[in-house]
Amino acid sequence: IQDAANQVYQVPSSVFDRPSSSGNCSAYSADLIFNYIESPFSFSVLRRSTNETLFDTSAASLVFESQYLRLRTSLPASPSLYGLGEHTDPFMLNTTNYTRTIWNRDAYLIPPGTNLYGDHPVYFDHRGANGTHGVFLLNSNGMNIVIDDTAGQYL
């Protein structure tokens, strides 16, 4: 996600190289389906084999500003989520009123529930027999990631 004028800071390719399009896969043969609505803008990603929604931003408006991004996705009830950086929380993330702040730091004697050395803005959503998928946000800014189940499960 980036602005059309390319004025908002993006992590440079020299720091994190983007995969190139090999041209070996068409939209019709891909395992994923990408849909979007122009106004108000929202998008979704579905697994082609099951038509299951993996990522859907239509429940809340997308906010994209120079130093602020709000992106919200719906989750299934009682999701099994893993990831979101180096931390001392349990391996499977709490999904009720949980906030993970991602900000690089190093500290002696790490108390529970705090960041460790680096961050990895990726989470994995394990959906049992339906499969597992990951979501990665290439971002070098501090982030608050909120997972909750008020008004439906979301991240």
| Residue 138: band (very low, low, confident or very high) from pLDDT cuts 50, 70, 90 | confident
Where are the domains positioned within the chain? 32-147
pLDDT in tens, 72-118: 999 998 899 999 877 788 899 999 999 988 876 666 677 777 666 66
What is the model's pTM? 0.82
Structure tokens belonging to residue 30? 């891909």
CATH superfamily of 32-147: glycosyl hydrolase (family 31) (2.60.40.1760)
Q: What is the pLDDT of residue 118?
A: 64
C-alpha 96/C-alpha 78 separation (Å) is 9
Cβ atoms of 35 and 55 within 8 Å: the answer is: no
